[in-house]
C-alpha cells in the first residue's frame, strides 16, 4: 500500500499522525477492502468540518482532514472517510456530473449545501458508514496497543 500525506497552507507535517494513520489503515484493511494508494490531505477546513472524501476523478483515493484536530479527534473522521473510500473502491458510491451521486446503482441528486446535517446523515451511504464504523471502532478499541504511537 502506498500512503501519501499532503500538507496544505501553513500545515506542518506531523510524524505522529502519519504513523497513527498507517497503523489504523492496516487494521481497517482487515475488515474492508481499500485501494492500494491512499492520499491524506491535511488542511484548514474551518470549525465545523472534520473531514471529507474527495469525489473528484482527478484526485482518486484522497481524503481531506481538518489540520486542527487532536490525535484523539482524528480517529473518527479518518475511519469515516476510509469507509467512504471503501464504498468508492467497491463501486457502491460513485460521483456523477451535476451533483448526482450513484449509490448501489441508484442515482441521487444531492445538493449538500442545501441539506441539514440530519438530512445528510440519512443518506444511504452515510447510514452505511455509521453501521460499518461502529464495528470498526470496536475492533480498533480491541487493538489499542497496535495503534498507539
Phi, psi of 50 (to 5 degrees): -100, -35
**Residue 105: pLDDT over 90:** yes
Which cell goes with 124? 444511504
* pLDDT 10s digits, 108-121: 998 888 999 899 99
What are the structural domain ranges in the chain? 2-147
Mean pLDDT of the chain: 92
Q: 94: buried, middle or exposed (CB in 10 Å: 19+, 13-18, 0-12)?
A: middle
Distance, in Å, from the CA atom of 120 to the CA atom of 18, rounded to the nearest integer, reads 29
**pLDDT for res 47:** 86
> Quick one: average pLDDT of 115-134?
95
CA 106 from centroid of its chain's CA atoms: 22
**pLDDT for res 41:** 95
Distance, in Å, from the CA atom of 121 to the CA atom of 130, rounded to the nearest integer, reads 9
We find that the CATH architecture of domain 2-147 is 3-Layer(aba) Sandwich (3.40)
**Residue 50: pLDDT over 80:** yes
* pLDDT 10s digits, 24-39: 999 999 999 999 999 9
pTM of the predicted protein model = 0.94
Distance, in Å, from the CA atom of 61 to the CA atom of 28, rounded to the nearest integer, reads 15
Amino acid at each position: 500500500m502506498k500512503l501519501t500525506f499532503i500538507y496544505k497552507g501553513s500545515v506542518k507535517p506531523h510524524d505522529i499522525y502519519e504513523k497513527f494513520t498507517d497503523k489504523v489503515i492496516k487494521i481497517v484493511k482487515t475488515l474492508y477492502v481499500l485501494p492500494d494508494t491512499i492520499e491524506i490531505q491535511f488542511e484548514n477546513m474551518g470549525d465545523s468540518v472534520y473531514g471529507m472524501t474527495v469525489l473528484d476523478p482527478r484526485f482518486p483515493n484522497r481524503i481531506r482532514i481538518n489540520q486542527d484536530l487532536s490525535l484523539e479527534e482524528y480517529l473518527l473522521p479518518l475511519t469515516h472517510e476510509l469507509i467512504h473510500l471503501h464504498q468508492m473502491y467497491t463501486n457502491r458510491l460513485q460521483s456523477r456530473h451535476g451533483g448526482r451521486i450513484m449509490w448501489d446503482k441508484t442515482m441521487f441528486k444531492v445538493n449538500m449545501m442545501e441539506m441539514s446535517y440530519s438530512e445528510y446523515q440519512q443518506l444511504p451511504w452515510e447510514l452505511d458508514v455509521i453501521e460499518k464504523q461502529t464495528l470498526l471502532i470496536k475492533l480498533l478499541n480491541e487493538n489499542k496497543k497496535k495503534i498507539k504511537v
